[in-house]
């Protein structure tokens, strides 16, 4: 019997662009292509935890994953019809996968891993045990099992011969008995359901639990799922094998760049620093082979800030790839999006790379992640979509290639790396095959939340043991995330850089408010502002103050402004606001503005420039203002910069003096890395002063304790106590107001601090490891490296062009052009500020609800829950009064309530 369709389709092309349907893809062709590509995506020779060939398994699953599309229901649906029966196909595909794997004699653990991979190839992985028992094997007639039986019976009536052929092609010679048939599968469906339902509780012949659902099950499932998802989407998008191959970064390009660095040093100290930078490069290159020949698979690079760690880490990665001679990639992970662009500029300069080419991809939630093919490659097709799968809506294949990390080098964030490894969503999983044989550089690992350390240690094991990757942990303050006995130090002569012949760059000064654990002994904002103004005005110095919370930074900026006469103060944020327009393109066009600020300041000793930075400013503004600050510090401009922790790590900027609100010791040392970074001070050391600021207005807790010592916050530790203990143990007379050398604080005290913090894991950290060991993908996906709160997403328009782009987004949604909506959202991320609100009924939430919504949901809604209608627009083109009420050029999005957790992390 037939349903009248001669061609059995997997998906069709867009009817408007292809009225003849020439771009439609036959199901049999699609299954063959996906199977072959899935096999290529896994590491050659890789096996599951049970020793099965991973490539063979991936190919088998790829050849069966869409077999449920054989139903007449789906074939009507894919051609634009509206069948009465269910058209989804993943559950039936999962049952077929289990049956085929059983016929081939695979273990129960492998069968479960493959079944879940096929079941969720259009969705996110579940908590495996509960998902199998409560969802996939539901045995009610009207539930999932009933639909599976109905779909399987439909195929038996209409296309049994094609189903037999697809089964035979997938299994090949792997069947342990006679070649299986669709009719045999149909008879086996009840047994398959029972086997899936009982898998978590099966017992072996001795009656003991078989431990089918384990960490090994999970890693097998993730690998098979990620290969299947990427193969499916890339084949549907007609992306060639060539476009998925990386362009490997050339080690010789880096060596040439290093040879060209330097020039005439300004002083003896800079000349010594340059020699030490060269020595670090040479030492790492010499030790790479020893590392690869040894038993360790995790390497460390521990160097003071300013010693060129980015290029040292890159050198280590490229040397490893050259020695290993693999097709693996380099993944360079940083803690914060705010510091990625600067590192990207360095990499583009080193490799002369196209930002959208296959050599280098920038991937984080604010980036327009695209990777295009060579100009010589044909590009004559749009991405086809699975008509049954909304997750396949990729407008251009360069997005898919970029987000799957197929470039030779990917620059990304901890969130993208570790959350994807822990509990990947559907799109997140596409990047995981790129990790096979790779080198993963983790820059500033101490910035990982303490509660994540146990799971990150486990994920590093997965990277090295499952994906055959090598991991490099790189920082000035090496944490004990991975046990020191299991790491190989690429910098063997650490004392040479921390307390050897190299000169100190800074002197630490600990204020009495920092040395005493006494809430009464704190520094007020007026006094702190007086010190900052005096420091900057003296010899036209630059001074940076790093605060722990947004509220604290705002209060300190206001206090600095109030200490200076209005005529004598140059507000850099205000100057930037006046310069904004179509002629001002951002960080690359700051020269004229900087020159004007330079002319306006420094004419008298009382003149001062003030710049404020926080995450309440738009990402594009932060990048431009950081560039302005960097250029101003190179001039004789008396400058005060007040910032949250966003400036603390990975930003190549140097001040004469740095003031840090009391914080964990590694944060203090990271802030010190912004002082006299390359011995710019020709006379004397840079000063790093540590104080403890009072609570801001309307806040009860000190900023230091609110962020780093929250006993009321479950799963978090007091990190201030071990900081004081480490300093008390290493710095003489620390109980009094005291100074200390760079080597004492950055080396001795930091090592003591990390020993004190150690592996004293939090309950939350233990829970995450348990979730990983028990294949709880959904539970892990709900954990985040970033504190999650109720939040409004506010699009801030400051130019006419930006207003027009927001209107484009609104029009695209009105037209239900969802691919364009997705692309525009990503493009507009640079204008978006996330504003936490800690209660839906708070004053901040009420005020934000009164701001202009991005979309009009009055005529029905396609969103539910808290995130319904939480996107807002501030646009002076539409409402000047409201814009001025909600936005301040210095502070950014400005609300009366900004809780202590509204901090940068």
Q: What is the pLDDT confidence band of residue 521, given thresholds at 50, 70 and 90?
A: confident
Burial 108-142 (b: 16+ CB within 10 A, else e): bbbbbbbbbbbbbbbebbbbbbebbbeebbbeeee
The whole-angstrom separation of Cα 485 and Cα 232 is 42
784 pLDDT higher than 90? no
209-218, 367-376, 538-547, 550-559 — which one is most confidently predicted on average? 550-559
Q: What is the pLDDT confidence band of residue 124, given thresholds at 50, 70 and 90?
A: very high
Strand, coil or helix: what is 506? strand
Please name which of 74, 79, 66 lies closest in space to residue 21, comparing C-alpha atoms: 79
- Angle at CA of residue 586, ends 584 and 589, nearest 5°: 65
Judged by average pLDDT, the poorest of 53-57, 178-182, 667-671 is 178-182
What number is the average pLDDT over the span 219-242?
93
Axis crossing angle, helix 215-236 with helix 108-119, rounded to the nearest 10: 40
Can you name the residues that pair with 47 across neighbouring β-strands? 53
In Å, what is the CA distance from 597 to each residue of 102, 602, 617, 629, 638?
A: 73, 9, 20, 11, 11
Judged by average pLDDT, the poorest of 124-133, 209-218, 835-844, 863-872 is 863-872
User: What are the structure tokens assigned to 699, written together?
Assistant: 């806040």
DSSP 351-409: HT--TTSSSEEEESTTS-------TTS----PPP--TT-GGG--SSHHHHHHHTT-SSE
Higher pLDDT, 41 or 1: 41
Place of tokens 């869409």: 66
Q: What is the pLDDT confidence band of residue 366, given thresholds at 50, 70 and 90?
A: very low
Longest dimension (CA), the chain: 94
What number is the average pLDDT over the span 10-35?
74
Q: What is the pLDDT confidence band of residue 388, given thresholds at 50, 70 and 90?
A: very low
- The per-residue pLDDT for 56 is 95
Can you name the residues that pair with 509 across neighbouring β-strands? 689, 739
Q: What is the pLDDT confidence band of residue 358, given thresholds at 50, 70 and 90?
A: low
The whole-angstrom separation of Cα 587 and Cα 630 is 11
User: What are the structure tokens assigned to 374, written together?
Assistant: 């060579």
Each residue's pLDDT tens digit, 618-665: 988 998 898 899 888 888 789 999 999 888 766 778 899 999 999 999
CB 115 within 8 A of CB 196: yes
* CB-CB neighbours of 370 under 10 Å: 21
- The per-residue pLDDT for 785 is 78
Each residue's pLDDT tens digit, 100-109: 999 999 999 9
The whole-angstrom separation of Cα 875 and Cα 873 is 6
Each residue's pLDDT tens digit, 433-491: 999 999 999 998 988 888 888 999 999 999 999 999 999 999 888 888 888 888 999 99
The whole-angstrom separation of Cα 91 and Cα 870 is 34
* CB-CB neighbours of 252 under 10 Å: 10
Axis crossing angle, helix 54-64 with helix 108-119, rounded to the nearest 10: 40
Burial 704-718 (b: 16+ CB within 10 A, else e): bbbbbbbeeeeebbe
Each residue's pLDDT tens digit, 716-772: 678 899 999 999 999 988 877 889 988 889 888 988 988 888 755 666 778 889 999
What number is the average pLDDT over the span 319-324?
90
* CB-CB neighbours of 391 under 10 Å: 16
Question: What proportion of the chain, given as a percentage, has pLDDT over 70?
Answer: 84
Each residue's pLDDT tens digit, 139-192: 665 677 888 999 999 999 999 999 999 999 999 876 666 778 899 999 999 999
CB 104 within 8 A of CB 404: no
Q: What is the pLDDT confidence band of residue 616, given thresholds at 50, 70 and 90?
A: very high
Strand, coil or helix: what is 643? strand
* CB-CB neighbours of 208 under 10 Å: 8
- The per-residue pLDDT for 140 is 65
Q: What is the pLDDT confidence band of residue 203, given thresholds at 50, 70 and 90?
A: very low
- Give the mean pLDDT of the chain: 83
- Angle at CA of residue 441, ends 440 and 443, nearest 5°: 145
Q: How far apart are the first and last CA of the chain?
A: 62
What number is the average pLDDT over the span 865-872?
65
- The per-residue pLDDT for 703 is 93
CB 265 within 8 A of CB 271: yes
CB 331 within 8 A of CB 432: no
342 pLDDT higher than 80? no
- The per-residue pLDDT for 287 is 94
Higher pLDDT, 905 or 242: 242
- The per-residue pLDDT for 17 is 47
The whole-angstrom separation of Cα 10 and Cα 706 is 55
The whole-angstrom separation of Cα 871 and Cα 440 is 35
What number is the average pLDDT over the span 56-75?
95
270 pLDDT higher than 90? no
What number is the average pLDDT over the span 711-717?
59
The whole-angstrom separation of Cα 264 and Cα 260 is 12
Each residue's pLDDT tens digit, 799-834: 999 999 999 999 998 888 877 887 888 789 889 998
382 pLDDT higher than 50? no
Strand, coil or helix: what is 490? coil
- The per-residue pLDDT for 369 is 43
The whole-angstrom separation of Cα 118 and Cα 20 is 32
121 pLDDT higher than 90? yes
Higher pLDDT, 355 or 493: 493
Higher pLDDT, 691 or 885: 691
Please name which of 836, 832, 904, 905 lies closest in space to residue 873, comparing C-alpha atoms: 832
Strand, coil or helix: what is 304? coil
User: What are the structure tokens assigned to 353, written together?
Assistant: 């790379």
Dihedrals φ, ψ of 493, to 5°? Answer: -100, 65
The whole-angstrom separation of Cα 147 and Cα 89 is 10
- The per-residue pLDDT for 821 is 85
Cβ-in-10-Å burial (0-12, 13-18, 19+) of 228 comes to: buried
321 pLDDT higher than 60? yes
381 pLDDT higher than 50? no
605 pLDDT higher than 80? no
- The per-residue pLDDT for 747 is 84
Please name which of 317, 303, 251 lies closest in space to residue 273, comparing C-alpha atoms: 303
Dihedrals φ, ψ of 387, to 5°? Answer: -65, -15
User: What are the structure tokens assigned to 521, written together?
Assistant: 């002994």
Q: Residue 172: left if φ>0, alpha if ψ -120 to 50, beta else—which one?
A: left
């Amino acid at each position: 019997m037939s349903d009248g369709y001669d061609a059995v389709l997997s998906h069709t092309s867009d009817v408007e662009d292809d009225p003849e349907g020439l771009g439609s893809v036959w199901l049999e062709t699609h299954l063959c292509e996906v199977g072959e590509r899935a096999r290529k995506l896994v590491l050659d020779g890789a096996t599951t935890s049970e020793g099965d060939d991973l490539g063979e398994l991936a190919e088998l699953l790829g050849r069966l994953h869409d077999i449920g599309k054989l139903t007449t229901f789906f074939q009507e649906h894919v051609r634009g019809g509206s069948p009465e029966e269910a058209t989804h196909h993943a559950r039936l595909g999962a049952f077929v996968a289990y049956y085929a794997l059983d016929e081939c004699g695979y273990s129960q653990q492998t069968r479960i891993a493959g079944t879940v991979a096929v079941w969720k190839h259009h969705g996110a992985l579940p908590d495996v045990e509960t998902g199998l028992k409560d969802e996939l094997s539901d045995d009610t007639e009207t539930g999932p099992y009933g639909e599976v039986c109905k779909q399987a019976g439909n195929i038996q009536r209409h296309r049994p011969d094609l189903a037999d052929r697809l089964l035979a092609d997938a299994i090949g010679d792997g069947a342990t008995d006679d070649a299986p048939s669709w009719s045999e599968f149909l008879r086996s469906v009840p047994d398959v359901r029972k086997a899936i339902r009982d898998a978590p509780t099966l017992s072996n012949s001795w009656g003991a639990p078989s431990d089918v659902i384990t960490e090994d099950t999970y890693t097998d499932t993730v690998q098979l799922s990620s290969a299947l998802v990427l193969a499916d989407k890339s084949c549907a998008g007609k992306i060639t094998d060539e476009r998925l191959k990386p362009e490997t970064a050339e080690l010789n390009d880096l060596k040439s760049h290093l040879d060209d660095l330097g020039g005439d040093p300004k002083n003896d100290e800079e000349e010594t620093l340059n020699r030490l930078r060269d020595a670090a490069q040479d030492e790492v290159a010499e030790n790479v082979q020893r590392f690869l020949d040894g038993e360790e698979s995790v390497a460390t690079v521990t160097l003071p800030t300013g010693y060129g760690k980015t290029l040292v880490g890159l050198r280590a990665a490229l040397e490893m790839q050259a020695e290993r001679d693999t097709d693996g990639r380099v993944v360079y992970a940083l803690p914060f999006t705010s510091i990625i662009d600067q590192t990207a500029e360095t990499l583009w300069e080193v490799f002369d790379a196209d930002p959208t080419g296959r050599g280098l991809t920038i991937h984080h939630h604010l980036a327009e992640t695209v990777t295009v093919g060579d100009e010589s490659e044909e590009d004559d097709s749009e991405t086809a979509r699975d008509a049954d799968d909304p997750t396949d809506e990729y407008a251009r294949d360069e997005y898919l290639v970029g987000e799957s990390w197929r470039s030779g080098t990917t620059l990304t964030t901890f969130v993208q790396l570790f959350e994807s490894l822990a509990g990947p969503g559907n799109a997140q999983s596409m990047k995981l095959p790129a990790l096979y044989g790779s080198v993963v550089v983790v820059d500033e690992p101490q910035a990982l939340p303490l509660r994540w350390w146990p799971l990150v240690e486990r994920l590093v094991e997965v990277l090295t043991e499952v994906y055959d990757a090598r991991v490099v942990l790189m920082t000035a303050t090496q944490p004990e995330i991975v046990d020191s006995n299991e790491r190989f130090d690429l910098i063997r002569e650490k004392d040479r850089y921390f307390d050897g012949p190299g000169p100190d760059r800074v002197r630490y000064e600990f204020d009495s408010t920092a040395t005493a654990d006494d809430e009464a002994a704190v520094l007020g904002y007026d006094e702190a502002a007086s010190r900052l103004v005096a420091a900057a005005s003296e010899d036209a110095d630059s001074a940076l103050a790093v605060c722990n919370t947004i509220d604290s930074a705002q209060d300190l900026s206001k206090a600095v402004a109030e200490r200076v006469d209005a005529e004598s103060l140059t507000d850099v944020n205000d100057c930037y606001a006046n310069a904004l327009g179509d002629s001002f393109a951002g960080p690359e066009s700051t020269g004229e503005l900087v020159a004007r600020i330079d002319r306006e300041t420094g004419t008298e000793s009382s003149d001062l420039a003030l710049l404020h930075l926080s995450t309440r400013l738009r990402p594009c503004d932060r990048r431009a203002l950081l560039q302005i600050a960097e250029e101003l510090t190179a001039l004789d401009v008396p400058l005060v910069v007040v910032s949250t922790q966003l400036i603390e790590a990975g930003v190549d900027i140097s001040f004469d003096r740095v003031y840090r609100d009391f914080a964990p010791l590694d944060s203090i040392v990271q802030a010190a890395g912004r002082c006299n970074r390359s011995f710019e001070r020709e006379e004397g050391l840079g000063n790093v002063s540590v104080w403890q600021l009072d609570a801001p207005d309307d806040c009860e807790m000190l900023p230091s304790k609110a962020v780093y010592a929250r006993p009321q916050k479950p799963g978090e530790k007091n990190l201030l106590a071990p900081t004081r203990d480490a300093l008390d143990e290493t710095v003489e007379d620390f109980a009094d107001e005291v100074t200390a050398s760079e080597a004492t604080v950055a080396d001795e005290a930091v090592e003591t601090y990390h020993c004190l913090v150690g592996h004293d894991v939090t309950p939350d950290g233990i829970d995450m490891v348990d979730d990983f060991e028990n294949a709880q993908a959904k539970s892990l996906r709900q954990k985040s490296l970033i504190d999650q709160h109720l939040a409004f997403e506010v699009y801030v328009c400051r130019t006419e062009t930006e207003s027009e782009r927001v209107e484009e987004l609104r029009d695209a949604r009105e037209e239900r052009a969802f691919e364009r909506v997705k692309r525009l959202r990503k493009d507009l991320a640079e204008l978006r500020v996330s504003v936490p609100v800690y209660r839906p009924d708070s004053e901040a939430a009420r005020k934000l609800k009164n701001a202009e919504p991005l979309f009009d949901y009055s005529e029905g809604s396609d969103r539910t829950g808290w995130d319904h209608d939480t996107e807002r627009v501030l646009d002076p083109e539409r409402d000047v009064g409201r814009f001025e009420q909600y936005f301040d050029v210095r502070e950014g999005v400005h609300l009366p309530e900004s809780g202590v957790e509204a901090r940068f992390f």
